[in-house]
Amino acid sequence: MNQAHATLPAPVPPLASRHDEPVLDLAVPVFNEEKDLEPSVRRLHAHLRETFPYPFRITVADNASTDTTPVIAARLADELPEVEWIRLAEKGRGRALRAAWSRSRAPVVGYLDVDLSTGLAALLPLVAPLLSGHSDLAIGTRLAPGARVVRGPRREILSRGYNVLLRSALAVGFSDAQCGFKAVRRETAERLLPLVRDSEWFFDTELLVVAERAGLRIHEVPVDWVDDPDSRVALLSTVLADLRGVARVGRALARGALPSGRRPRRFPALAVVMAAAQLLLYAALRPATADQVANVLSLLVCWVVAQVVLGRLPLAALATRLAVTAGSLAALRHAVPAAGPRAELAALAAAQLPFVLARLPFGRPRTESTTS
């Protein structure tokens, strides 16, 4: 590991007020967003002109759209002096953000989702700690006290389950990895981006894990957030990709391959990690298939991931978990035929509890150490 990556960024002074170049460069990553792009960018532009006290730029980062998104982005860039756009040949939110941030010379770079699900009133509180030099990164959070969130139960379960998984598997301290509302000092981004491998939806999580491990200050802002029912996110493929990302970063942490500016935390029992992963995957699969099928598939995926991370694991451990969880779902269906997804997840969580309390994962890894 390059030693430059293993040390903290040097302290930086508060930003001076400069009016000849942008102080904030906000990326808006888009893929086939011809419906939302123009009204959202015009709304964001008007908000920044009215409320932001420094020069700013909005960079529309089109990642391989196949509709009229690039045409609209080019027109907006022609009409609005603070708007620019770039086009990438490949898809990927992380890829788009990396390109937009890497080309920017603004002292603070950030991004928000094109649907503007996050209330724009939180934008100045998000950026202010970075402008002052107080923090290195700032993130919007839907899971902290003071946040107000409107979304369906499925996305609520997936979001909370994912963040529980992160706390269990990677021992993170931040509360919301995937909220599309983040900013970072450019000097910090320049140090972090070479360490982040993902180019899609896991980019946010990996960036925050690397930053936290390096001892950087992450400021959290509770946000108002309203779910976009027309979201382009494919939930199942995103969940699977995130699980792969968690496994990859977990291996890197275990090997000490990531920079560390703080004393590492002890990782919890692997049983907690596997239980959280199975519940998260079950919630993603359940709308498309029957409860028992979703249970089998989610357990199989988790077992395969455990095989990759830990080595050879006995099928008997998988069979035991499968029998216990399938039995709990069958008992629930017999007792409450109309039970919904929350009741099913509660039944599965109860079924996993003995494994968690006994610290029994899908078999025991060859090494007993679970610390980074």
Q: State yes or no: pLDDT of 112 exceeds 80.
A: yes
Same domain (yes/no): 240, 103: yes
Q: What is the pTM of this model?
A: 0.72
- Greatest alpha-carbon pair distance for the chain in Å reads 69
The answer to whether position 113 is within a domain reads yes
What is the pairing mode between strands 108-112 and 137-141? unpaired
Number of domains in the chain: 2
Burial 322-359 (b: 16+ CB within 10 A, else e): bebbbebbeebbeeeeebebeebbebbbebbeebbeee
pLDDT single digits (tens) 278-314: 888 888 888 888 999 988 888 888 777 666 655 555 6
- Tell whether 111 and 203 lie within a shared domain: yes
**Residue 271 resides in a domain:** yes
Residue 234 domain-assigned? yes
Q: Tell me, what's the pLDDT at 44?
A: 98
Question: 202 near 120, Cβ under 8 Å?
Answer: no
My answer on whether 63 and 175 are in the same domain is yes
CA-CA distance, 310 to 306, in Å (whole number)?
6
Q: Within this chain, do residues 319 and 206 fall inside the same structural domain, yes or no?
A: no
Cα–Cα distance between 44 and 115 in angstroms, integer? 11
- Residues 156 and 45 occupy one common structural domain: yes
Show the domain range for 214. Answer: 23-245
The structure tokens listed for 28 are 């808006």
Mean pLDDT over the full length of the chain? 83
Same structural domain, 209 and 314? no
Write down the pLDDT at residue 279.
Answer: 84
| Shared-domain flag, residues 89 and 198 | yes
> What Rg do the C-alpha atoms of the chain give, in angstroms?
22
In what helix (H) or strand (E) does residue 27 lie, and over which residues does it extend? strand 24-30
Any domain includes 93:
yes
The CATH number of the domain holding residue 175 is 3.90.550.10
Closest among 275, 295, 243 to 355, alpha carbons compared: 275
Share of the chain above pLDDT 90, in %: 48
User: Does the pLDDT at position 61 exceed 90?
Assistant: yes
Q: Are residues 225 and 165 in the same domain?
A: yes
- Among 245, 274, 292, give the residue marking a domain's end: 245
Residue 32 contacts residue 232 (beta carbons within 8 Å): yes
Same domain, yes or no: 342 and 235:
no
Token representation of residue 12: 């930086």
CB atoms within 10 A of CB 63: 24
pLDDT band at 358 (very low <50, low <70, confident <90, very high): low
> What CA–CA distance (Å, rounded) separates 10 from 7?
9
Same domain, 271 and 352: yes
225 in the same domain as 167: yes
* pLDDT tens readout for residues 122-141: 999 999 999 999 999 999 99
Query: Do residue 95 and residue 221 come from a single domain?
Result: yes
